[in-house]
Amino acid sequence: MKSTGKACWAVGTVLACIVSLQAAPVSYWALDDAPGSTSAANAIPGGPVGTLLNMAPAVWGPGQIGGALSFDGLDDVLQATLNVSEAQNTVSLWVRTASPNAGFSSVNNSANLGENDRNLYFSGGNVYGRIWSEETINSSASGINFADGAWHHVAHVYGPAPDGAGKHLLYVDGILRASGNKSTSNFNWQDIIRFGWANYPSGANYLNGSMDEIAVYDEPLSGNQVYALSQGTSPLSLPAASANTPARWINAGTGEWATPGFWDISAVPGPAHDTYVNNGGTAQITGATGTATPGALMIGGVGSGRVEVQAGGGLAVGGAIIVNANGQLDLAANASAGSLAGSGSVQIAPGAVMTTGSDNSSTTFSGTIAGGGGLTKVGTGHTTLGGGSANTLSGTTTLSAGKLILSKTAGVDAVAGNLTIAPSGGWQVGGVAANGVELYAGEQIADSAVITFSGRRSIQPACWRRTSKPALFSASEMS
Ligand SMILES: [Ca+2]
Ligand SMILES: [Ca+2]
Ligand SMILES: [Ca+2]
């Protein structure tokens, strides 16, 4: 069934059709079966029931959504008769294991299980996806160990992705982790699909862990659809690719934020949507339209990314702005964020101010902040400026609320310009203050900096305190 979910029947001599704007899986095993069940129900009418091999008794338990099925890592397999498309396909599932090496999904020729393809497996804690012959992609660029005993959402996609994201795609936890160049599999004589086993890695073919919410589509899902699944959207109610969440910069090159052609959406991202600018793309924000995103903005990650807020533009992000190591945020106008994280580069031009912290979370930004503009910390959380490279921002850094923690390498400036300490909650003298600036290493503030205390309480410099580390606060810094 295609993404339009078309259902047709004959009415007299006329063929009538209902087209629903949903992506429709060909099979969906929610694995919410009752304890003691000896098979896995398929939520798609007519879809094959899952057979449990070597699983007597089957171990059902809590899943990511409802129940889930456990696999013993020895010989347990969930298997169904299903001839999936070689031309376009998505397998979406949740998997949990603490074994760094473990197979968990494949298609097979029932006559010979040695004939297999569409292998999904963990190797070294990375997630691998393979289509024959012969392309294997993996999540290692993320640097994340996904075999950590927690649930992770995995989607393996091939075929021409509706959002132009590529041909052979591997998503983990809703984020594109790897892509390849093959759009189809050459292994077209498979007739079953198996979970809990793959042909790789050698010697660790079975999954010691659990799986949940397994959905198979005969279509490539968009990155936004995969993201929705990773956020808990049911495969039975997944919007079609045209109704996308979240926004995602999909083209290498440069374009204006509000130009729909550069996005797989035609509107500003909606509530809780995240926005990605990566794959070599640059988003230039030149006006107010399309500059507010209530979710997170992730810059870089899978390929470099750059966001330029140009003069006259603006950017308001309700969630985190995550500037990855290969990401850059250039502000020639004001921007605000729920929080700031990552290890990339932020440039703030003279006259522009970046305000961060409104979501009250605590984050660390370990990249560099440069330019002639200003930085303002709001919210009750802690914002940590870390890393080993100096910030050279020459405008004023202002603490309005919460904590600003300066934690770069000793002797490396976290604050290069002037510092204004004006917490709206006032100061606490003694004890562990809820508001303030803490130095986690010496010489975090340029000697030329002027520090202004303008909080609502009149306080003494002695209230500058920290908890346990030998921070230094020289007299020149108090000038
Ligand atoms: Ca067994
Ligand atoms: Ca479930
Ligand atoms: Ca097939």
Distances (CA, A) of 238 to 24, 98, 186, 217: 8, 29, 29, 11
* Separation of CA 88 and ligand 3 centre (Å): 10
Domain boundaries defined on the chain: 24-237, 248-478
What pLDDT, on a 0 to 100 scale, did the predictor assign at position 302?
A: 67
Q: For 47-53, what is the mean pLDDT?
A: 97
Residue 284 makes CB contacts below 8 A (sequence gap 6+) with: 254, 255, 256, 257, 308, 310, 313
Q: Inform me whether the pLDDT recorded for 433 exceeds 90.
A: no
Query: What is the number of the ligand closest to the CA of 191?
Result: 3
Residue 107 makes CB contacts below 8 A (sequence gap 6+) with: 84, 116, 117, 118, 187, 190, 192, 193, 194
* Separation of CA 136 and ligand 2 centre (Å): 28
* Separation of CA 195 and ligand 3 centre (Å): 17
Nearest to 448, CA basis, from 408, 479, 473, 414: 479
Whole-number percent of the chain with pLDDT over 90: 60
* Separation of CA 30 and ligand 2 centre (Å): 4
What pLDDT, on a 0 to 100 scale, did the predictor assign at position 18?
A: 40
Mind listing the pLDDT tens digit for each residue in 250-269? 444 455 554 433 343 333 34
* Separation of CA 189 and ligand 3 centre (Å): 6
DSSP conformation class of 416: -
Q: For 330-348, what is the mean pLDDT?
A: 95
If you write DSSP's letter for every residue of 205-216 in order, what string do you get? -B-EEEEEEEEE
Nearest to 328, CA basis, from 292, 376, 283: 283
Preceding amide of 57 cis, omega within 30? yes
Identify the burial level of 463 via C-beta atoms within 10 angstroms of its C-beta, where 0-12 means exposed, 13-18 middle and 19 or more buried.
Answer: middle
* Separation of CA 42 and ligand 2 centre (Å): 12
Q: For 313-324, what is the mean pLDDT?
A: 84
* Separation of CA 44 and ligand 2 centre (Å): 14
Backbone angles phi, psi at 462, to 5 degrees: -65, -20
In this structure, CATH architecture of domain 24-237: Sandwich (2.60)
CA-CA distance, 331 to 348, in Å (whole number)? 5
Which amino acid appears at position 100 of this protein? P
Mind listing the pLDDT tens digit for each residue in 440-452? 999 999 999 999 8
Residue 103 makes CB contacts below 8 A (sequence gap 6+) with: 119, 120, 121, 122, 196, 197, 198, 199, 200, 201, 204, 205, 206, 207
Q: For 327-348, what is the mean pLDDT?
A: 95
What pLDDT, on a 0 to 100 scale, did the predictor assign at position 427?
A: 55
Higher pLDDT, 19 or 401: 401
What pLDDT, on a 0 to 100 scale, did the predictor assign at position 68?
A: 98
What pLDDT, on a 0 to 100 scale, did the predictor assign at position 60?
A: 97
Under a CB-based contact definition with an 8 Å cutoff, are residues 276 and 300 in contact?
no
What pLDDT, on a 0 to 100 scale, did the predictor assign at position 255?
A: 53
CA-CA distance, 329 to 333, in Å (whole number)? 11
* Separation of CA 137 and ligand 3 centre (Å): 21
Q: For 397-404, what is the mean pLDDT?
A: 93
Give the length of the chain. 479
Higher pLDDT, 223 or 407: 407
* Separation of CA 90 and ligand 3 centre (Å): 13
* Separation of CA 195 and ligand 1 centre (Å): 13
Kindly state the tokens that stand for 333. Answer: 């106008």
Under a CB-based contact definition with an 8 Å cutoff, are residues 170 and 177 in contact?
yes
* Separation of CA 27 and ligand 3 centre (Å): 14
Q: For 43-72, what is the mean pLDDT?
A: 97
Kindly state the tokens that stand for 188. Answer: 């077209």
- pLDDT band, very low/low/confident/very high, at 467 (cuts 50, 70, 90): very low
What pLDDT, on a 0 to 100 scale, did the predictor assign at position 4?
A: 38
CA-CA distance, 107 to 90, in Å (whole number)? 12
Mind listing the pLDDT tens digit for each residue in 148-197? 999 999 999 999 888 777 799 999 988 888 999 999 999 999 999 999 99
Query: What is the number of the ligand closest to the CA of 187?
Result: 3
- The residue ranges of DSSP E strands in 396-450, in sequence order, are 397-399, 403-408, 419-421, 436-439
* Separation of CA 204 and ligand 1 centre (Å): 15
Identify the burial level of 98 via C-beta atoms within 10 angstroms of its C-beta, where 0-12 means exposed, 13-18 middle and 19 or more buried.
Answer: middle
- The residue ranges of DSSP E strands in 43-88, in sequence order, are 50-53, 60-62, 67-72, 77-81
Backbone angles phi, psi at 224, to 5 degrees: -70, -35
Indicate left, alpha or beta for 312 from its phi (over 0: left) and psi (-120 to 50: alpha): left
Mean pLDDT in the chain? 83
How many CB atoms sit inside 10 A of residue 8's CB? 10
What pLDDT, on a 0 to 100 scale, did the predictor assign at position 337?
A: 92
Under a CB-based contact definition with an 8 Å cutoff, are residues 365 and 341 in contact?
yes
- The residue ranges of DSSP E strands in 181-314, in sequence order, are 192-195, 208-217, 248-249, 253-256, 275-277, 281-285, 292-293, 297-299, 305-309
Query: What is the number of the ligand closest to the CA of 67?
Result: 2
Under a CB-based contact definition with an 8 Å cutoff, are residues 163 and 281 in contact?
no
Kindly state the tokens that stand for 479. Answer: 């000038």
Mind listing the pLDDT tens digit for each residue in 104-136? 999 999 878 789 999 999 999 999 999 999 999
Query: What is the number of the ligand closest to the CA of 69?
Result: 2
What pLDDT, on a 0 to 100 scale, did the predictor assign at position 55?
A: 97
Under a CB-based contact definition with an 8 Å cutoff, are residues 61 and 84 in contact?
no
* Separation of CA 76 and ligand 1 centre (Å): 5
Under a CB-based contact definition with an 8 Å cutoff, are residues 73 and 55 in contact?
no
What pLDDT, on a 0 to 100 scale, did the predictor assign at position 70?
A: 98
